[in-house]
Amino acid sequence: MNLIFKALLAVEDPTQTHHWLLPETAEIIYGGLASVIVFAGLFKFAGPMVKKSMKARTEKIQGELDGAANARSKSESDASGIRTALGDIESERRKILAEADTQATAILTDGRARLLKEVAELEAKAVADLAAARGRSGEELRGEISRLSSAAISSAVAASLNERAQQELIEGFIKSVGASK
């Protein structure tokens, strides 16, 4: 029985091929024709789409490169304009600082002149106030001296004159006043 079984197996075993590397001949023919049909269909229908997408991609990349080149040239011209303006800014800054120094000097000179004028006016006013104060104090002193001296004379005369001498002086004064009329 083993022998029959082995004979049946040897006759037709679908899992066994005639060569360890190559498939059966029918599989090679049918597989080859199917691959040619698939590749031909891809070449005919997908080929133009692939070419079109590659061309669009190339144009897009070229557009981006052109835009980058334009942006670079514009930025370089802007940078050169900024550098030129920076030089102008530096000269403008120097000019403004020079004007500010001139104005500050003028303000200081004017302020000093005004201060000197105000100090002179204040000194003149102080001198006038001192003279007026001297005059007032001199007059007040004279008035006080005359008041004190008249009080002292009255006290001295009253103390030195007696009643009789006073009567004679009063009558002499009245006579002299009456005689002058």
**CA-based nearest residue to 80, from 68, 72, 90:** 72
pLDDT of residue 41 exceeding 80, the answer is yes
pLDDT score recorded for residue 139: 83
Mean pLDDT score of the chain: 83
pLDDT of residue 27 exceeding 70, the answer is yes
pLDDT score recorded for residue 142: 80
Q: Is residue 125 exposed (0-12), middle (13-18) or buried (19+ Cβ within 10 Å)?
A: exposed
Arithmetic mean of pLDDT, 120-134: 88
Choose between 24 and 38: higher pLDDT: 38
For the chain, what percent of residues have pLDDT higher than 90?
A: 41
Find how far residue 71's CA is from the centre of its chain.
Answer: 32
pTM, to two decimals? 0.35
Each residue of 54-96: pLDDT tens digit?
Answer: 999 999 999 999 999 999 999 999 888 887 777 777 788 888 9
C-alpha R_g of the chain: 69
- What are the backbone dihedrals phi and psi of residue 7, each rounded to the nearest 5 degrees, phi first? -70, -40
62: tokens are 């070229």
Torsion angle, alpha carbons of 67, 71, 77, 79, to 10: -170
Each residue of 132-158: pLDDT tens digit?
Answer: 888 888 788 788 878 877 777 777 766
